[in-house]
Amino acid sequence: MIYYLKSIRNFFSLRIFSNTLGFKNLSFFLFYLVAKIIFIFQKKKIKKEYSKKFDENGYILLDNIDVTDISIKISKLFFNQNNYIEPLRGYKFLRTAVAQNLNQEIEYIVLKIQDQIENIFKSNFKIYFTNIQRSFPVQNNIEKEAQLFHFDDNPIGTKKIFIYLTDQYQDSGAFRTFNRKISDLLKKKGFLSYTTEIRENCQNLALSLSKDNLKIQSGKKGTVMCFDNNLIHKATLPENGFRDLIVMEVFPAFKEINSKNISKSLSMSLEEPDYPRWPFFK
């Protein structure tokens, strides 16, 4: 019976919201509507080309930025094993206490991309978490978890921003994703990924469309990419060297982004849920 109810919820929720969260999306929908209205009253101008491109594909490459200073600092931090944790094979994450010292540098980056992100959201935005990670080759790696095709199953409007601190190409760990159309098609065909077992069982379905449709988001150091968390995507370890990346999870907001929010996002532990349960209170 529960299985039957779940499949009905998934059927409708995936078609309306592209995730399986059902009614949970409503508070986010309302929150975003208010954020957009406030933005109009603040008389901020929107450049439609960003939102048009993003809405169509579910991802967008933004203007390159200069990351020379911060990438050198981060590279030095990864030399000292007290500065990071290794929650998964092939990944190091800077500890929050260490990452917080980079507040100013992160703020510099956010100011560079602020207008473009506002244009994508058509509202102000806030950062829920910021993490700084390094991935590297692992011998006999068996792809699992985020390295398998999946969608994050986050509430509508949840987006991620990737800031490339190293060149990232097919063999150097570039992110892979389907566009919105193919992601929706796969979900209609039954693609789900919210448990390990379901995720593993759905890999062949994603692979069946990957040959011509999987987009490798290659870019040189300084590339900024924004994507919808509910696209079907996967992480890939580099084959040699290492891949450094700043990851920010972003949501619409009522107020303009400020340094307090950036600092809070850097202090968010990896163990926290990957999205706020109540958009109005976070």
Tell me which residues touch Fe ion (CB under 5 A): 152
In the complex with Fe ion, which residue's Cβ is closer, 126 or 150? 150
Minimum separation from the CB atom of position 263 to Fe ion (A): 25
In the complex with Fe ion, which residue's Cβ is closer, 152 or 249? 152
Minimum separation from the CB atom of position 203 to Fe ion (A): 14
Minimum separation from the CB atom of position 165 to Fe ion (A): 19
Closest C-alpha among 58, 281, 282 to residue 187: 58
In the complex with Fe ion, which residue's Cβ is closer, 152 or 244? 152
In the complex with Fe ion, which residue's Cβ is closer, 77 or 235? 235
Minimum separation from the CB atom of position 202 to Fe ion (A): 14
| Residue with smallest beta-carbon separation from Fe ion | 152
In the complex with Fe ion, which residue's Cβ is closer, 39 or 91? 91
Minimum separation from the CB atom of position 229 to Fe ion (A): 7
